[in-house]
Structure 1
């Protein structure tokens, strides 16, 4: 099998309402979808959707520029030789793992179709037919965040992520207290700062909420900031935005800075890199999520397939953007949340057949 063409599509993703975090508010995003075309008639799909230009250094124009540099050098390769394909991408361009991730995901989709297996089967096998998810509650008034938390518990979610930061720390503390009081036992809480808290405010929040069982997810901007305050915190710390590759994951474990991770598939380089991180976390007994920044059915399916292979005792769930997006790429098979669970797609590869009429014409074609 040889790669004969790579098509790149821009996909408009309006956000239902406004998604507010500590550093930004999102109302509309563009997702970049990659289609790998082979000489045997099989095609594979990948996707990357940076969460705007502020959330992290990754951005849409950067993804397309990196693909422009990489894609021509991949024509003629066998895309189902995924390790060699990734080495060819690294030889073509340093960094830009998030852009390479879209191609890596498409290659796993192709491999599954070639061998008639689901991606989760190629990754070692699913632990079940569904995976747990969790709900992220955007920054809002403490009363509103508590109201949404109760609503989501009734809908079957067993874990919620509360966005904190970007306001007076007393409001964050009040929100967490209201939420804890409103929820029935059994709901797990993550307070996610998205790098928006100072070390001082992180200490205040943790010490003032020491009686609330929760985890702190990426409260500060850098590893050094977290290292400075880790010993003064009363809660476990999960790293998220700073974990941009496998090396940083290894370093943060060695330096005892991570009690777990909120992992993003495209940020670290795709399914291949996420598989490595999954195995490292299992070796070190560290819990983690399998998520992405945003995106449609292709990214959602990639997260669900990898998540399905994580040891259940370590799995914190797969977050997908489906509740915040109006349309599916694949109306029949697009991942959906029911009672806090997502069904693992059953078709070969990712199990997603996107409706290309939704995407319009490719913005670039290589090969």
Structure 2
């Protein structure tokens, strides 16, 4: 199967009851970039990439569109099989994993459809028919965060992620304690996520002040050197997220014992093909991890859910999708959602998602 056409679309994804608050930014709306590839046997596939603004990582939606336009002409005639596809993308453009991921996802979708297999089948086979999700609690006051944590606990979420950082550390400590007070004993795991928004000093202060709370600290500081310095000093497990900017970083983190787990994102790693490799390394090292992404609609949600379904349940920390934070679907019949804290794994061939093109704007670029 070879690529004969590539079409690039833009979709607006407003945040419901926004903004979505993190340590470094507040997000009201996002632009997602969708890719449709058509193959020489008539099968087609969809991919997506949706950076969270321009300051979360070295990515932004206009850059994604431009990079796709840079690569697309050279991808016509390329096989959709992972090795030749990624080899060709790397020949055409250095880096920009978050863009290559959209093509990679679309290729998996098309290949699955042509073989009558779901993407999870292509990735080795689903172990479950639904995956656990988790809910990310915005930066908030102790009272508001506690109230929302209890609500999400009652909705069935097995894991909650509490945003911290970007404010006095005393406020974070008070919020963490209040949230734990509301969910203690309810079987819900707690993660605090700073999105690189804490100083090492503050991480040590939080870990010491919350030593009795069994929480995980996710990506507390800016760089890997900070994580390396903190690792032997903190009283809690540390997970790497934003620093997994490519498969090599994830490999080093797993192989050297730098961290206790990961927040893995499909687009940061460059797609499902490299994500599968890191998943298998984590399995060998017995490292728990999430399977999710920065943001996105049904296409990205399906990709994350499929790879999540192939992870050993005792190592899967959850699959985060943006569905609870946005309105509408690309595919109103098969669009994904969170029910009782879990997501059903699509069973149709490919991703199991076919966007309604009438609901999208005209392509911003097309190649054949």
Give the TM interval when normalised to the shorter protein. over 0.9
State the partner residue of 1:238.
Answer: 239
Aligned residues: 366
State the partner residue of 1:121.
Answer: 121
The CA deviation at 1:120 is 0.3
State the partner residue of 2:79.
Answer: 78
Rounded Cα–Cα distance in structure 1 between residues aligned with 2:360 and 2:72: 20
Rounded Cα–Cα distance in structure 2 between residues aligned with 1:184 and 1:153: 10
Alignment of 1:152 onto 2:152: yes
Rounded Cα–Cα distance in structure 2 between residues aligned with 1:119 and 1:253: 25
**Structure 1 residues 94-140: Cα deviation after superposition (integer angstroms, max 9, x where no partner):** 10011000000000000100100000011111111100000000101
State the partner residue of 2:13.
Answer: 13
State the partner residue of 2:4.
Answer: 4
Which structure 2 residue ranges, 5 or more long, are not aligned? none
The CA deviation at 1:250 is 1.5
Q: Answer yes or no: is the 8 Å Cα contact 2:254–2:282 preserved in 1.
A: no
Q: TM-score, normalised by structure 2?
A: 0.98
Output aligned runs, 1:170-185, within 5 Å: 170-185=170-185
State the partner residue of 2:314.
Answer: 313
Rounded Cα–Cα distance in structure 2 between residues aligned with 1:104 and 1:319: 20
**Structure 1 residues 23-81: Cα deviation after superposition (integer angstroms, max 9, x where no partner):** 000001000000001222211000000000011111112111211121111101222x2
The CA deviation at 1:184 is 4.1
Alignment of 1:53 onto 2:38: no
Alignment of 1:96 onto 2:96: yes
The CA deviation at 1:253 is 2.4
Rounded Cα–Cα distance in structure 1 between residues aligned with 2:307 and 2:102: 15
Q: Answer yes or no: is the 8 Å Cα contact 2:35–2:46 preserved in 1.
A: yes
State the partner residue of 2:252.
Answer: 251
Output aligned runs, 1:23-62, within 5 Å: 23-62=24-63
Rounded Cα–Cα distance in structure 2 between residues aligned with 1:2 and 1:183: 51
The CA deviation at 1:5 is 0.9
Q: Answer yes or no: is the 8 Å Cα contact 2:136–2:163 preserved in 1.
A: yes
State the partner residue of 1:228.
Answer: 229
Rounded Cα–Cα distance in structure 2 between residues aligned with 1:114 and 1:178: 51
* Greater shift in the superposed pair: 316-325 or 221-230: 221-230
Q: Answer yes or no: is the 8 Å Cα contact 2:20–2:28 preserved in 1.
A: yes
Q: Answer yes or no: is the 8 Å Cα contact 2:78–2:88 preserved in 1.
A: no
Rounded Cα–Cα distance in structure 2 between residues aligned with 1:347 and 1:197: 43
State the partner residue of 1:366.
Answer: 367
Rounded Cα–Cα distance in structure 2 between residues aligned with 1:168 and 1:109: 45
State the partner residue of 1:63.
Answer: 64
CA RMSD of aligned residues (A): 0.9
The CA deviation at 1:332 is 1.2
Q: Answer yes or no: is the 8 Å Cα contact 2:207–2:235 preserved in 1.
A: yes
> SS at 1:247's partner residue?
helix
> SS at 2:131's partner residue?
strand
State the partner residue of 1:137.
Answer: 137
Output aligned runs, 1:282-321, within 5 Å: 282-321=283-322
**Structure 1 residues 7-27: Cα deviation after superposition (integer angstroms, max 9, x where no partner):** 000101111121000000000
Output aligned runs, 1:203-222, within 5 Å: 203-222=204-223
Q: TM-score, normalised by structure 1?
A: 0.98
State the partner residue of 2:270.
Answer: 269
**Structure 1 residues 252-295: Cα deviation after superposition (integer angstroms, max 9, x where no partner):** 22332210000110111010011001000000000000000000
The CA deviation at 1:229 is 2.0
Rounded Cα–Cα distance in structure 1 between residues aligned with 2:111 and 2:254: 32
Rounded Cα–Cα distance in structure 2 between residues aligned with 1:10 and 1:199: 39
State the partner residue of 1:167.
Answer: 167
Rounded Cα–Cα distance in structure 2 between residues aligned with 1:248 and 1:242: 7
> SS at 1:232's partner residue?
coil
> SS at 1:11's partner residue?
strand
Rounded Cα–Cα distance in structure 1 between residues aligned with 2:20 and 2:242: 17
> SS at 2:171's partner residue?
helix
